[in-house]
Amino acid sequence: MSRGQHVGRRILGGQVTIHLVCDVFGGDTVDAGTHQRWWVHLLRDLHALTEASTAKGEALGWASIVRALSDEAQMWLHAHPQPTDEEREQQDMALTAHIHALGLQCARTNQLPCQALGTRLLRHDDERCQIVLVDRRSADHNLVERRIRPLVVIRTISGGSRSAEDTNPRMALASLGETWQARGVNPFDECLRLLSQAAAS
């Protein structure tokens, strides 16, 4: 299955009010809505940087500070369970400014092994702390991945469907079922509504 941008655009259509939690891959960068960039992959790369034998003291210190910013955003949310919009904006601006400064620190030099990570921070510096700015936004895809994991395990054990004609309906039904469950609606009523619409068209 393709991870190109055209897939995201086809699925999301013209919706521009959604909030996307995504990585920095090209296929994740679609025009619709605003983005919260994952910290997970960045933190893994920071860990790999600290484990590298070529890492110097300055790079190690930089990686530690960047890693601490992720914790700072989460701790601020725990300390402010019901922040005002103004408090959210102020905290987001402060964290974004710090991220931008850290990105510049390494992106402008060829001497540090963290240059690529510094450039990545700069590219999405205003999309790292949307969890602070937007209520109930997640910093990762862990919940979604845990929800689809049982289906993936079943598909692996059973050998999966043997054709696109079998796979597509199964995946579509699974997606609908999970969506209805997340929204707290009755699957029977939703199925009846969809079937009624199809019969009327």
Q: Encode pLDDT of 11-58 as tens digits.
A: 666 555 666 776 766 555 555 567 778 778 888 888 888 887 566 777
Mean pLDDT of 80-101: 91
User: For residue 141, what are its two tokens?
Assistant: 């895809």
Residue 87 reports pLDDT greater than 90: yes
Residue 139 reports pLDDT greater than 80: no
Residue 159 reports pLDDT greater than 80: no
Return the residue matching tokens 């989460």.
74
How high is the mean pLDDT of the chain? 78
Distance of alpha carbon 49 from alpha carbon 101, whole angstroms: 19
Mean pLDDT of 163-187: 82
pLDDT given for residue 33 in this prediction: 63
Residue 90 reports pLDDT greater than 90: yes
Q: Where are the domains of the chain?
A: 5-133, 142-200
Q: Smallest Cα–Cα separation from 144: which of 20, 5, 3?
A: 20
pLDDT given for residue 41 in this prediction: 80
Distance of alpha carbon 98 from alpha carbon 92, whole angstroms: 10
Mean pLDDT of 98-110: 85
Q: Which amino acid appears at position 89 of this protein?
A: E
Length of the chain (residues): 201
157 vs 93: which has the higher pLDDT:
93
pLDDT given for residue 53 in this prediction: 58
pLDDT given for residue 91 in this prediction: 92
Residue 195 reports pLDDT greater than 70: yes
Mean pLDDT of 112-128: 81
When mean pLDDT is compared across 25-29, 138-142, 149-153, 166-170, the lowest value belongs to 25-29
Give yes or no for a contact between 21 and 137, defined as CB atoms under 8 angstroms apart.
yes
Distance of alpha carbon 43 from alpha carbon 67, whole angstroms: 6
User: What percentage of the chain has pLDDT greater than the value 90?
Assistant: 11
Give yes or no for a contact between 155 and 124, defined as CB atoms under 8 angstroms apart.
no
pLDDT given for residue 62 in this prediction: 86
The answer for residues whose C-beta is within 8 angstroms of residue 101's C-beta and 6 or more apart is none
